[in-house]
Amino acid sequence: MKARRVLSKEEQKACKRFIIEEVNRNKNEEMTRFLKIICFLLNNQFGFGKGRIEKLIDCLTTFMDENKGNEIFWDKLDEHLIDKMGLPFKCEDYEECESFMKENNRKKNI
């Protein structure tokens, strides 16, 4: 016979918060690793020095902060990178992004 303990509502909320925090921590680690790769390549392949790379990181941080919550951010980014520059990126699935953002905002209130 397996024992099972039913969690209280407070324990369920705490578990959900822990899971969300853990997922966000993992996303941040992954993004930091990706940024490290970009910085390495900019230095190694294109000659960017410490100052230019620090400026890039500062600009990136400011840009992301300024566009947090901007509903058309990815649309405008896709328009510039794909349509204007011709870079081979896949367009964002805006319905999926919208449902993710709604779900993510809902989870913040848990």
Helix axes 9-46, 50-66, angle to 10 degrees: 140
Do residue 40 and residue 54 come from a single domain?
Answer: yes
Domain match, 15 and 57 both: yes
DSSP secondary structure letter of residue 5: -
Please state the φ and ψ torsions of residue 69, each to the nearest 5 degrees. Answer: 85, 0
**pLDDT for res 109:** 57
pTM: 0.64
Q: Which of the two residues, 9 and 84, has the higher pLDDT score?
A: 84
> pLDDT tens digit string along 10-61?
888 888 888 888 887 888 889 899 999 999 999 999 999 999 999 999 999 9
Per the structure, the complete domain to which residue 36 belongs is given by 8-66
Domain count of the fold of the chain: 2
99 and 53 co-located in one domain: no
* In the chain, % of residues over pLDDT 70: 85
Using an 8 Å Cβ cutoff, are 92 and 74 in contact?
yes
Cα separation, 19 vs 103, in Å, equals: 14
